Structure 1
């Protein structure tokens, strides 16, 4: 069964960097985010790893793992939000204490999605794929991003509804800071491969393809056991997003997932917007989505609010979701069922 934490008023938020920390020149971003959250009534605890970065990681793997474990075990901390993603989170998996994880939320995306997926698969604890700490530094949040608080405050047994964004950010423009961090300029449109209205239902699992693919065949990526033992054989509804893979590499990764059984008893796939879907000899993202839909015989939706092209919906690994897409708009209802 799935266990759901709940975010209470005046919660304590811990930030640690299990992947990349923040170099000194950008420490101001963390201070701004901490200040905003404290102004909103939260209490903040920031770990040492957040403030350091060298050789593609915040600290050696064991140090990162130990700090994360301390925040997990600390009963005073209600939510863990890393500063952002990075490159080498996979190094800490063997250092995690996964035997007795208490019920507390872990929120993030990018490289952090590997941590989230691993914890849900291994322990049945629901985890939250959504915003990271540095993106909470704005004077206000757009409606889509701001839902992280509402979603994490949902009680076990209840449900929460989210809608597709009105606009998304095409590219980062750090030279001109925005009061809400993101520059939302482009009209959002969720697309179904089959066209028309599409409905999808299932238990949510997912993350960044670039990193979650690397636990296939390891004890940290046992989707079959999770499906059989934790969610009682219910179908999985996958959400996936691409950070850096060209279309050939992404296709290879998805075929590997299929061959490993990750898409057995799958009810559908949802792909986030990506600025990295570079064609290879004319092979485009749309070609891949069509091929996958034909192979798996399940509905596929793409360009949803998920991943590295903000804003993004807060998606809960392990929750039961009902998704409807029509005329470019989407809505996701997540049910916090055991």
Structure 2
């Protein structure tokens, strides 16, 4: 059984940094983000960890864990949104008080996806893979990003549909800010191995493969136990995105996922766009997808709106999803089923 939090109007957003905090020279980005959230009717409560960053983390692991544990127990906080990802979130997992976590949304991506996946696998509480707080500081959000509020406001038993973006961002232009943060210039086109038109369904799980792969073989990555105890052995539909892995490292990681049993009882795989997918010795990401298809015999869709090449949809770990791709356009229907 999956437990779905619900986003209520005017709720309080807890902002903590379970991975990276924000250096002093970028504190203005945080304040802009807070102002934007408050203009939308939310209250904002800040932790201490968000204001500091040193040695590739916001603060020591136990300090980060204590702050997150406190926010997860606080009835006044309805959703937690970290400023952004980082590198070393995995350090805090052993100090988290999973048994006493209240049912509330956590939203983010990149290194945050380690926390999201671990919480859903350990507790059965749904978590939200989507935008981070810093990317919500603009005057407005593009239609794809802006769906986070509608998705997280969906009630248990209800469904919501998101559609693929019209355009995506090819490169970050931090020196040239735009009213909606992203510069969406390239035509979005979802692709699939074998068939151009495809439908798949299953329970969503996933995140940034660079970091969630480190959950293999740990108490925080027991997919089989989760499937049996929370999903009644329904198949998993994996969504994955590659931040920085070389093409060969991506292949190694996916083979490891397979050998670890994460792809047992899997209905398909979805891959986000990635700048890291550069060929090595003529070996491309598309080659990897074709090999996976031959090995797993499940549908594989790629270049979807997920990850470090924005914009991105909001994917709910644990939700029942129906994905359809037709002539490069995609739709994602998520049902909040127990």
TM-score by length of structure 2 reads 1.00
- Kept after mapping to 1: 8 A contact 2:275/2:309: yes
Matched, 1:149 2:146: no
Question: Using the alignment, how far apart are the partners of 2:48 and 2:270 within structure 1?
Answer: 36
Question: What displacement does 1:145 show?
Answer: 0.2
Is the partner of 2:99 in helix, strand or coil? Answer: coil
Question: What displacement does 1:279 show?
Answer: 1.5
- Kept after mapping to 1: 8 A contact 2:196/2:328: no
Aligned to 2:270: 270
Is the partner of 1:185 in helix, strand or coil? Answer: strand
Question: Using the alignment, how far apart are the partners of 1:100 and 1:55 within structure 2?
Answer: 30
For 1:188-207, list aligned pairs within 5 A: 188-207=188-207
Question: Using the alignment, how far apart are the partners of 1:119 and 1:280 within structure 2?
Answer: 35
Aligned to 1:129: 129
Question: Using the alignment, how far apart are the partners of 1:103 and 1:92 within structure 2?
Answer: 19
> Cα deviations across residues 15-55 of structure 1 (Å, max 9, x unaligned)?
10000000011000000000000011000011110000000
Question: Using the alignment, how far apart are the partners of 2:147 and 2:124 within structure 1?
Answer: 23
Question: What displacement does 1:100 show?
Answer: 2.2
For 1:94-105, list aligned pairs within 5 A: 94-105=94-105
Aligned to 2:82: 82
Aligned to 1:106: 106
Aligned to 2:248: 248
Question: Using the alignment, how far apart are the partners of 1:52 and 1:229 within structure 2?
Answer: 39
Question: Using the alignment, how far apart are the partners of 1:247 and 1:286 within structure 2?
Answer: 10
> Cα deviations across residues 108-163 of structure 1 (Å, max 9, x unaligned)?
00000000000000000000000000000000000000000000000000000000
Aligned to 1:213: 213
Question: Using the alignment, how far apart are the partners of 2:269 and 2:315 within structure 1?
Answer: 13
Question: What displacement does 1:70 show?
Answer: 0.6
- Name stretches of at least 5 consecutive residues in structure 2 with no aligned partner: none
Question: What displacement does 1:195 show?
Answer: 2.8
Question: Using the alignment, how far apart are the partners of 2:103 and 2:309 within structure 1?
Answer: 30
Question: Using the alignment, how far apart are the partners of 2:47 and 2:277 within structure 1?
Answer: 35
TM-score by length of structure 1 reads 1.00
Aligned to 2:330: 330
Question: Using the alignment, how far apart are the partners of 2:292 and 2:228 within structure 1?
Answer: 24
> Cα deviations across residues 245-279 of structure 1 (Å, max 9, x unaligned)?
01100000000000010000000000000001122
- Kept after mapping to 1: 8 A contact 2:2/2:318: yes
For 1:15-164, list aligned pairs within 5 A: 15-164=15-164
Question: Using the alignment, how far apart are the partners of 1:35 and 1:101 within structure 2?
Answer: 28
Alignment RMSD, CA only?
0.5
